[in-house]
């Protein structure tokens, strides 16, 4: 055998060993049975222990627990596993805007994603090296998120708990928005463990039904926004090497109500997780849902079907059933073998019905459905 063939064979065997034994298979566990949906609204204190683990698992309607991430940077391993992002979005009848800044420990990413109805989605993004200066907000209600380069500018400012500025631009796009909410606006704060000792976790605050004012210019096309609806997805967490999600996010006005939904599948530890972040928000009220599963339709590749695992509402949760119809999609793939990210972002319409013990609500709102898998 030629020497180069031997080297190729050894390299192939080495890569197979790394792939099967060290990197391992992706997480595929999905929760498909009901969870109690433990409410933490009466809890006080910190989110994390002194060792950087979750103190509690469950959900809240307001971010009343104190976010204390200091211990997450105590070692190189923890700092590399620590992921954080601030994501703002609007889903109007004619345009969807998404602006975000993310820090995944060893790299960062700023992006602007735009879907104008009738056009292909476009994304402007910038991979940011670890040594480039960025700033992430202290909490979902305090601090500033910032990045500036010759390619893209992103600035999120918390003027106070109920007012935010969202500014982003590059050579083709300019976005300048104000997000306002009332003090009574409920949201979903989620504390979810990835592993049994809760050292790996997902801590998020998702706020819907912001009132949005401002403007956007997209390749010379101008949009003015007056009392539109917006959302924030603020996430901090220590992730396993294999990560990912299926996430549905929708919002709009329907039959006189401001209706929003948040549907999420994450690789939770089913033995310790006491809630999901599945919910709907009707006007200012958050309604907790049971576990929601989302599946692509076997009859139509442009339709996703979703429903709670229980068909009847209970005192601790309500139920939902519906479908998401895809109008357009954006694919993004990054593959450096040990570091990978595969994202499919679908744009379209959610339609269905929510049942509570007191009332039923039909809905038809615009939004996105993301399918993401990663080695990170």
Range of lowest pLDDT (254-263, 265-274, 290-299): 265-274
Contact 230, 95 (CB under 8 A): no
- Answer whether residue 6 shows pLDDT above 60: no
Cβ atoms of residues 251 and 233 within 8 Å? no
pLDDT at 248: 98
Which among 116, 112, 82 has a CA at the least distance from the CA of 240?
82
SS3 state at 20: helix
Count of alpha carbons within 13 angstroms of residue 176, beta-carbon side:
5
Question: How far is the C-alpha of 317 from the C-alpha of 159, rounded, in Å?
Answer: 34
- For the chain, what percent of residues have pLDDT higher than 90? 75
Grade residue 19 by pLDDT with cuts at 50, 70 and 90: very low
Answer whether residue 16 shows pLDDT above 70: no
> Which residues touch 88 (CB under 8 Å, ≥6 apart)?
98, 99, 100, 156, 164, 166, 177, 179, 230, 231, 232, 233
Residue 376 confidence (pLDDT): 73
In this prediction, residue 68 carries a pLDDT of: 95
Residue 321 confidence class, pLDDT cut points 50, 70, 90: very high
At residue 183, φ and ψ (nearest 5 deg) are -60, -20
- The number of distinct structural domains making up the chain is 1
For residues 152 and 128, the answer to whether their CB atoms sit within 8 Å is no
pLDDT of 335 above 70: yes
Q: Does 354 have pLDDT greater than 80?
A: yes
**pLDDT score of 21:** 46
pLDDT at 296 over 70: yes
CA separation for the pair 126, 273 (Å, rounded): 35
What are the tens digits of pLDDT across the range 146-175? 999 999 999 999 999 999 999 999 999 999
Provide the CATH number for the domain around residue 329.
Answer: 2.40.370.10
Domain extent for 242 = 3-375
- Global pTM value: 0.92
């Amino acid at each position: 055998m030629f020497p180069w063939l031997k080297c190729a064979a050894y390299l192939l065997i080495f890569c197979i060993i790394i792939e099967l034994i060290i990197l391992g298979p992706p997480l595929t566990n999905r929760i498909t049975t009901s969870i109690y949906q433990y409410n933490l609204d009466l809890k006080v204190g910190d989110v994390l222990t002194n060792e950087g683990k979750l103190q509690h698992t469950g959900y809240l309607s307001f971010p009343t627990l104190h976010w204390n991430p200091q211990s997450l940077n105590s070692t190189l391993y923890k700092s590399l596993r620590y992921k954080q992002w601030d994501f703002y979005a609007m889903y109007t009848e004619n345009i969807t805007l998404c602006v975000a800044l993310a820090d995944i420990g060893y790299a960062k990413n700023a992006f602007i994603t735009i879907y104008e109805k009738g056009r292909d989605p476009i994304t402007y993004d910038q991979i940011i090296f670890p040594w480039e200066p960025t700033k992430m907000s202290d909490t979902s209600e305090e601090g500033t998120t910032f990045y500036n380069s010759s390619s893209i500018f992103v600035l999120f400012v918390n003027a106070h708990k109920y007012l935010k500025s969202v500014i982003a631009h590059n050579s083709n796009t300019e976005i300048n928005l104000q997000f306002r909410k009332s003090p009574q606006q409920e949201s979903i704060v989620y504390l979810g463990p990835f592993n049994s000792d809760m050292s790996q976790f997902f801590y998020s605050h998702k706020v819907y039904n912001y009132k949005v004012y401002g403007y956007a210019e997209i390749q010379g096309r101008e949009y003015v926004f007056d009392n539109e609806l917006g959302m924030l997805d603020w996430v901090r967490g220590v992730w396993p090497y294999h990560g990912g999600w299926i996430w549905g996010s929708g919002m709009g006005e329907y039959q006189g109500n401001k209706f929003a939904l948040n549907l999420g599948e994450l690789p939770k530890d089913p033995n310790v997780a006491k809630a999901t972040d599945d919910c709907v928000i009707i006007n200012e009220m958050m309604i907790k849902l049971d576990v929601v599963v989302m599946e692509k339709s076997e009859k139509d590749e442009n339709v996703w079907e979703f429903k709670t695992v229980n068909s009847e509402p209970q005192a601790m949760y309500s139920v939902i059933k519906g479908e998401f119809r895809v109008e357009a999609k954006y694919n993004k793939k990054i593959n450096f073998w040990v570091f990978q990210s595969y994202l499919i972002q679908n744009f379209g319409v959610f339609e269905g019905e929510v049942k509570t013990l007191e009332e039923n609500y039909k809905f038809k709102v615009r939004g996105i459905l993301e399918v993401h898998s990663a080695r990170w």
